[in-house]
Structure 1
Amino acid sequence: MAQFVTTKENYTMKANVSVIGKDIVIEITGGDNPHIGTVTTLTANTEMQTVRFPSHDGRLHKDDVLARRIGQMIQSQLPGSCTITAGVHVNHISKKQIMVSGSMASDLGKQILNWLSNFDFNAPDPIYYSDSEKPQ
């Protein structure tokens, strides 16, 4: 696992990246109450899809704004699928803290992109049956 961190305006945002074969899972968390507010999926050749979960008051979380920014930055370099969970909550967040959240996500995206370009995804390709073969 790799971990990337950025801090601005008195709060920290983290991205933990796990590798599963040629796929990656990114967990974006931070602030006072880390959680899973959204799940975003993508590959190098597919559009991003997001599920937004309800928060304690029933409104849908907006953490996909962070996940989508990172996803757009790294998408072309993905060797397989990518799942991004995101949940950053800062108690009594200020306008300044909201304003820097995008640049914080960009900072994490740059770090992940650099890591992706240097990581050796040396996982074997899966083997499938041909149309004329069947499991025995």
Structure 2
Amino acid sequence: MIHIHKSRGRIQIQMDVYYMGTDDIVILISGGDRPHIGTITAGTPSQPLQTIQFQQHQEFYFTEEIAIHLRKQWRGNFVICGGVHIDQISGEEINQVIEMVVEMGNELILHLQESQSIKS
């Protein structure tokens, strides 16, 4: 398992990554006041991304951004499940959440590269 955590002000977000076999990963992104399942994005290196958005959740802004970068690097299948809720979030905080999660996605890709799990 890989665990990445970031915080800024009242924003707390964590990313937990689980290997399923040697080629597939599940990425869970949660945080805020009420973590939940808001959006799921799935991908492979060779097929279009697929996103499921529950109700009016907007986590696809970061799940799809991470997926776009990950599918260029990762050799297997992946699922990204995101749910970050912060009560009375401001526009600036929304931008911070997206920025933080994308940074976490970049850290994940670096970690995978270091562990030789990235395709050549």
Per-residue CA distance 1:59-100 (angstroms, 9 max, x = gap): x21111111111122211112100010100001111220121
CA distance in 2, matches of 1:91, 1:73: 29
Deviation at 1:120, TM superposition (A): 4.6
Which residue number corresponds to residue 115 of structure 1? 111
TM-score, length-normalised on structure 2? 0.89
Matches within 5 A, 1:51-130: 51-54=52-55, 60-121=56-117
CA distance in 2, matches of 1:66, 1:9: 19
Moved more, 111-120 or 75-84: 111-120
Deviation at 1:107, TM superposition (A): 0.9
Query: What is the aligned-residue identity percentage?
Result: 30
Moved over 4 A (4+): none
Moved more, 100-109 or 80-89: 100-109
Which residue number corresponds to residue 134 of structure 1? none
Uncovered stretches (5+) of structure 2, i.e. residues with no partner: none
Which residue number corresponds to residue 18 of structure 2? 18
Which residue number corresponds to residue 45 of structure 1? 46
Deviation at 1:12, TM superposition (A): 1.3
Amino acid in the other structure paired with 2:17? V
Moved more, 109-118 or 22-31: 109-118
Uncovered stretches (5+) of structure 1, i.e. residues with no partner: 55-59, 122-136
Amino acid in the other structure paired with 2:71? Q
Name the SS of the counterpart of 1:46 in structure 2.
Answer: coil
Deviation at 1:32, TM superposition (A): 0.5
Q: CA RMSD in A?
A: 1.3
Query: Contact 1:9–1:97 (CA<8 Å) still a contact in 2?
Result: no
CA distance in 2, matches of 1:52, 1:95: 20
